[in-house]
Homo-oligomer: A and B are copies of this chain.
Amino acid sequence: MGKEIIDEFRSYRKKMNERLLAQDNKVIKRIFNLDTNTYLDGALPARVKEMLGLVSSMVLRCDDCIRYHLEKCHEFDLSTEELMEVFAIANLVGGTIVVPHTRRALEYWEELNKRE
């Protein structure tokens, strides 16, 4: 892996989301819609919500979901120190089975930071 992991993730995700939405299933479309609205600023700032999305994705061990929220956390200028504290909670609550996902998450994060 390396630089290309970001572009591959983004382009596959975009392509298949379009094909999924093209099927015109109402429930799927509403879930996609909700997925955008849930993370907007509200009583909690969007920045905190993205960390909540990230930690949830980590304990549920979904690499693609982790990458998506890492991108958002990066947009919100999360520091690596803050990120590591999210990782710490995920590994404590979810156990050492979260470690391999943490390794891949850190790699993706470092690629995001190189790209700036």
Chain B residues, CB < 8 A from A94 = 56, 60, 94-95, 97
**Segment 11-48 of A: residues with Cβ below 8 Å from B:** 12-13, 16-17, 19-20, 23, 25-28, 30-31, 34-35, 37-39, 42-44, 48
Tell me the complex Cα distance, A57–B16, Å.
20
> Which range contains the number of A residues in contact with the other chain?
35 or more
User: With A43-B82, A48-B48, A64-B100 in contact, is A107–B37 under 8 Å at CB?
Assistant: no
Secondary structure type dominating chain A contacts: helix
Chain B residues, CB < 8 A from A43 = 79, 81-82, 84-85
| Chain A residues within CB distance 8 Å of chain B | 12-13, 16-17, 19-20, 23, 25-28, 30-31, 34-35, 37-39, 42-44, 48-49, 51-53, 55-57, 59-65, 79-82, 84-100, 102-104, 106-107, 110
